[in-house]
Structure 1
Amino acid sequence: MNASTLNDVAILIPAYNGQRELERTLASFSEDGPVRVLIVDDGSTPPIVAPSIRGLDIEILRMPVNGGIERALQAGIDALAERGVRYAARIDTGDLATPQRLAKQRACLEAYPRMAALGMWTHVVSTEGAPLFDLKPPADVATIRRVMLMRSCFTHPSLMLRVAAVREAGNYRAQYRAAEDLDLLLRLMERHDCANLPEFGLYYELNESGISATKRRTQVLSTLRLQLRYFRAGNLPDWIGVAKSLAHLVLPYRALRGLKARLLP
């Protein structure tokens, strides 16, 4: 691959403390050419320091105070647009990328101009790196549209986003706390296609202190609001999705995590 191929791609990673984990995440990227990185330091104390990692051109955007991931990502997308970046590759601190992830995603987005977001399958691991289970959401656009309110069709840190489409849709926003990814994707799908590459692109660290655990009720309530907003009465998966969200409000997090591990392929 020509080294200039990824010139219009940037890794977008919000960070709040966790310098060591951030460096490990960025060091996991393995591409044939140099890659730009925008770290959005969301008020870390001490401030995040840009690591020196071969193959990565790293810039830090510092938020004045800790305002949450939604505002950090919104600022990051706007900053990338100002810099002329076309594709934003999401990842979170603690997660790891598989080799050539960015090149594969960019090639697919280039081939399908109607596509605004492209995810990949995910290995879910513990904080020690032990395998827990795999996430293999549907890959094709039609299936995703049918079941998008029933199950999580995307792993947010695996996404590559078309920056112009994200801004056209209104960017990330804080209206649906802890469900900013679903909110964005549902808006994107009103005018564009979203899909997954049916191969593994991410090692996702399941952290008990992460958003899904510590803000679970907020996340579920935001998800339920989105499900009701986009609800299609004639689509059975939408009914199932609402029922699942209601169950999430009453069942313990650990019980749900164990059930997911047993049921997912």
Structure 2
Amino acid sequence: MNELHDVAVLMPAFNGQADVERTLASFRETSTVNVLIVDDGSVPPIVAPAIDGMKIEILRMPKNGGIERALEAGIAALDARGMRYAARIDAGDLATPARLAKQRTYMEAHPRVAVVGMWTHVVSTEGAPLFDLTPPTEPGAIRRTMLARTCFTHPSLMLRIDAVIDAGNYRAQYRAAEDLDLILRLMQRHDGANLPEFGLFYELNESGISATKRRTQVISTLRLQLRHLRVTNPLDWAGVAKSVAHLVLPYRALRGLKARLLKSASSA
């Protein structure tokens, strides 16, 4: 039996055919991998590559509407197909071997968990290592710190689809922070966790959302922090202060400082 029969990789894509192919080719699993590419109005349209061990479908959006709408449509489509788990990844990122099997095994053993991520190697577009992201792994630690720091790398996530639908699915209300919005809603009724091992090589791309839509992302994050603020939790206030700093300081300076701090922490 295919142990990944109820799992589908969910990848939104806008142009970037070569990145789509490179990302999908990085998966190394012992079972057939289901993939749903949501083509968000690419010109020319994304073409499903022929990759051994993969069953690839493409859902075409009528026009480019942004990652939030693409993910919303993708989750709805996977739910209609009877899938239980959606494994996120973005074009340009690379998966580590057996990532999907490890995450599904964890989800099956922990029914209260609706979202599980993995630690992440952050690399340049040339593949050079920059720094690592090793957020908290246990639900309690994540819940305490989730407004103060990034506790999940979005393209590393595996999501329980029925919980995502019940929570209202992805939405465009908080542009460029659709992942945090969804996770905060999920964790009102469920737990979130990270596996304490690396599952993703995340490509830090200067044309990516975090760079090109930085101000929109920070404003959306700040709105979410204020909406979900726990006034007695000092870490929540620290998160608000950090978002305000992101609004007033240059992106490159903050990125460089973050990289230096993470490198120092990993070498300590």
- TM-score, with structure 1 as normaliser: 0.99
Distance in 1 of aligned mates of 2:157 and 2:23 = 15
Match runs of 1:22-101 below 5 Å: 22-101=20-99
Amino acid at match of 2:40: D
Say if 2:161 is the partner of 1:163: yes
CA displacement at 1:66 relative to structure 2? 0.1
1:121 aligned to which of 116, 119, 122: 119
- Determine what percentage of the aligned residue pairs are the same residue: 76
Distance in 2 of aligned mates of 1:33 and 1:222 = 38
* RMSD, matched Cα: 0.5
Match runs of 1:105-254 below 5 Å: 105-254=103-252
Distance in 2 of aligned mates of 1:49 and 1:239 = 46
Distance in 2 of aligned mates of 1:172 and 1:160 = 14
Amino acid at match of 2:39: D
Distance in 1 of aligned mates of 2:2 and 2:210 = 37
Amino acid at match of 1:169: A
Q: Secondary structure at the match of 1:5?
A: coil
CA displacement at 1:217 relative to structure 2? 0.2
Superimposed CA distance per residue, residues 42-94 of structure 1 (whole angstroms, 9 cap, x where no aligned partner): 00000000000011100000000000000000000000000000000000000
Distance in 2 of aligned mates of 1:236 and 1:147 = 10
Amino acid at match of 1:221: I
Q: Secondary structure at the match of 2:46?
A: coil
Q: Secondary structure at the match of 2:3?
A: helix
Distance in 2 of aligned mates of 1:182 and 1:228 = 13
Amino acid at match of 1:45: V
Distance in 1 of aligned mates of 2:230 and 2:223 = 14
Amino acid at match of 1:117: V
Distance in 2 of aligned mates of 1:243 and 1:206 = 24
Q: Secondary structure at the match of 1:243?
A: helix
Distance in 2 of aligned mates of 1:65 and 1:157 = 23
Amino acid at match of 2:141: T
Superimposed CA distance per residue, residues 131-157 of structure 1 (whole angstroms, 9 cap, x where no aligned partner): 000000000100100010000000000
CA displacement at 1:4 relative to structure 2? 1.0
Amino acid at match of 1:188: L
Q: Secondary structure at the match of 1:25?
A: helix
CA displacement at 1:194 relative to structure 2? 0.4
- TM-score, with structure 2 as normaliser: 0.98
Superimposed CA distance per residue, residues 88-129 of structure 1 (whole angstroms, 9 cap, x where no aligned partner): 000000000000000000000000011000000000000000
Q: Secondary structure at the match of 2:42?
A: coil
Structure 2 partner of 1:255 = 253
Any gaps of 5 or more consecutive residues in structure 2?
none
Match runs of 1:12-27 below 5 Å: 12-27=10-25
Q: Secondary structure at the match of 2:194?
A: strand
Distance in 1 of aligned mates of 2:77 and 2:51 = 22
Distance in 2 of aligned mates of 1:79 and 1:189 = 23
Distance in 2 of aligned mates of 1:234 and 1:33 = 47
Structure 1 consecutive aligned stretches of length 4 or more whose deviation exceeds 4 Å: none
Distance in 1 of aligned mates of 2:131 and 2:2 = 36
Any gaps of 5 or more consecutive residues in structure 1?
none
